[in-house]
Amino acid sequence: MEAGTEERMKPDYRIWKLACGVLALVAACQFYFVQELIAAFAFFAIGFAALALVVVSLYMLQKAWEMTIAHVFGGKHAAVQGFKAEGSARGIL
C-alpha cells in the first residue's frame, strides 16, 4: 500500500462525531414526538370518556323523565299510551 492511500483511508473523527451527534438528535426527536403522540392520545381518551359520560347521563335523565311522566299521568295522556305500547318491548315498563 502506498502512504497516500493510508492517509486517505484514515477516519476523520470530526465527521464521525458530527454524524453520531446528528443521529442522536434524530433519535431524541423521535422520542419527543412519541411522547407527544402518547400525550395527545391520553387527552383524546379523557375527552372522549367525558363526552360519553355526558351523553349517557343525558340519556338516563331523559329515560327517567319519561318514566316519571308515565307514572304521574297514569296512562291517560296520548303520549303515555304510546310509551306504554312500546315499553314492554323495550323492557322498561
DSSP 41-92: HHHHHHHHHHHHHHHHHHHHHHHHHHHHHHHHHTT-SHHHHHHHHHHHHHT-
pLDDT digits (tens, 9 = 90+) for 60-90: 999 999 888 888 877 555 555 555 555 555 5
Tens-digit pLDDT profile for residues 16-64: 899 999 998 888 878 878 789 889 999 999 999 999 999 999 999 999 9
- pTM metric for this prediction: 0.47
The pLDDT, as a whole number, for residue 49 is 98
pLDDT of residue 33: 81
The per-residue pLDDT for 58 is: 97
